[in-house]
């Protein structure tokens, strides 16, 4: 890989509680490229959250190494504060942690702790709110609790962005949102990636949800890395995905069935537009 920002080598993690132990991650080796969007996919309990919690040392490897932008996360001398500024984490249902009287106060919490001047904090708050589509002028002085669920979640995202992380880790970021809010959330995430060049690590159990954003998928099953590759390569392997307890996006499923019925749809066709082009051309050539 040309420029990896995250490298895990033979990472294993075992939870220990008294005499009980659980191998949550087993011998994971992977790299994530700077500026890319990686999705960690797997069913509940497959180890996704355990894996990403190693990225800002909420957890330490039982064995193996985790290097984040040149920092060895297991090193005793690690500057944990610097690491946590680099790796912004948005946990599930982040709106539960909103507490500010106003949206701006909430988003300012992180930058304030970075000991920036008040004008720098203000600039960061305004920039972060703009990135999530909640401009300061309109939303800054409102109570976060007067907003919709989707907007509250974007306030929480702005709070993480205001710390200027180079890696953004999102654990099941759209759980519990309605379809429109989910779409909005992904729209802003795509914009953020395009404009900020931030590396995104997305945890999800839903393949179709990440299909449009992720450049690379890592599929976990029972703590093991079972598959990795570009979404379009992974989606053609429906049988292996089902073995990992996962579904395939409906479009990929349909294309696989059409191929089995004899339509010559190339393996690298993965999006609706690509499928339309191929099928449209096929139907046109049949008419003539
Ligand atoms: P996912 O995020 O894919 O749902 P997790 O990383 O949360 O998976 O969990 C992986 C496995 O580790 C599961 O079997 C889970 O029950 C177990 N586990 C997670 N956290 C703990 C913990 N604090 N103590 C013991 N076992 C845990």
pLDDT score of 287: 55
Per-residue model confidence as pLDDT tens digits over 179-212: 899 999 999 999 999 888 899 999 998 877 787 7
Tokens of 157: 């995202």
Q: Does the C-beta of 144 come closer than 6 Å to ligand 1?
A: no
What's the angle, vertex CA 286, arms to CA 285 and CA 288, rounded to 5?
Answer: 65
Nearest CA to ligand 1 atom 13: 45
pTM over 0.75: yes
Q: Residue 85 and residue 82: Cα distance in Å, rounded?
A: 5
Over residues 29-88, the pLDDT tens digits come to 999 999 999 999 999 999 999 999 999 999 999 999 999 999 999 999 999 999 999 999
Q: What is the pLDDT of residues 100-157, one digit of tens each?
A: 899 999 999 999 988 899 999 999 999 999 999 999 999 999 999 999 999 999 999 9
**Residue of 12, 23, 41, 47 to mutate, ligand 1, most atoms within 8 A of C-beta:** 47
The CB of 61 under 6 Å from ligand 1? The reply is no
Instruction: Identify the residue whose tokens are 């059409």.
Output: 258
Complete DSSP assignment for 182-229: HHHHHHHHHHHHHHH--EEEEEES-HHHHHTT-SEEEEEETTEEEEEE
Average pLDDT over every residue of 211-240: 91
What is the atom index within ligand 1 of the atom nearest the CA of 223? 10
Q: 45 C-alpha to center of ligand 1: Å?
A: 5
Nearest to 270 by CA among 238, 236, 237: 236
Q: Which residue has the tokens 């996360």?
A: 73
Q: From the alpha carbon of 44, which atom of ligand 1 is closest? A: 4
Mutate to test the pocket of ligand 1, among 45, 203, 220 (most ligand atoms within 8 A of CB): 45
> Whole-angstrom Cα distance, residue 247 to residue 115?
46
Name the residue at shortest CA distance from atom 27 of ligand 1: 15
In this structure, are strands 4-17 and 20-33 parallel, antiparallel, or unpaired? antiparallel
Residues in Cβ contact with 183 at an 8 Å cutoff, skipping those fewer than 6 apart:
none
CA–CA gap between residue 211 and residue 88 (Å, rounded):
22
Q: Give the C-alpha separation, 191 to 170, whole Å.
A: 15
């Amino acid at each position: 890989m040309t420029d990896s920002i995250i490298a895990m080598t033979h990472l294993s993690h075992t939870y220990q509680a008294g005499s009980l132990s659980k191998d949550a991650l087993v011998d994971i080796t992977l790299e994530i490229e700077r500026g890319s969007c990686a999705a960690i996919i797997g069913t509940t309990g497959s180890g996704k959250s355990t894996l990403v919690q190693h990225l800002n040392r909420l957890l330490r490897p039982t064995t193996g190494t985790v290097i984040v932008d040149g920092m060895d996360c297991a090193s005793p001398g690690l500057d944990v504060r610097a690491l946590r500024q680099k790796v912004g984490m948005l946990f599930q249902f982040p709106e539960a942690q909103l507490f500010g009287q106003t949206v701006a106060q909430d988003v300012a919490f992180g930058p304030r702790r970075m000991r920036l001047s008040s004008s720098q904090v203000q600039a960061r708050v305004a920039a972060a709110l703009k990135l999530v589509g909640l401009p300061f002028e309109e939303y800054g002085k409102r109570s976060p609790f007067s907003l919709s669920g989707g907007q509250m979640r974007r306030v929480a995202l702005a709070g993480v962005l205001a710390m200027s992380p180079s890696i953004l880790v999102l654990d099941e970021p759209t759980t519990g949102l309605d379809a429109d809010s989910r779409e909005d959330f992904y729209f802003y995430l795509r914009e953020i990636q395009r404009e900020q060049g931030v590396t995104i690590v997305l945890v999800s159990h839903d393949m179709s949800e990440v299909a449009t954003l992720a450049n690379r998928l890592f599929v976990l099953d029972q703590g093991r890395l079972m598959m990795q590759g570009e979404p379009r390569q992974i989606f053609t392997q429906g049988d292996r995905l089902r073995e990992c307890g996962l579904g395939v996006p409906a479009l990929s499923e349909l294309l696989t069935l059409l191929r089995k019925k004899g339509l010559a749809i190339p393996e690298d066709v993965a999006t609706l537009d690509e499928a339309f082009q191929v099928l449209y051309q096929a139907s046109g050539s049949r008419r003539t």
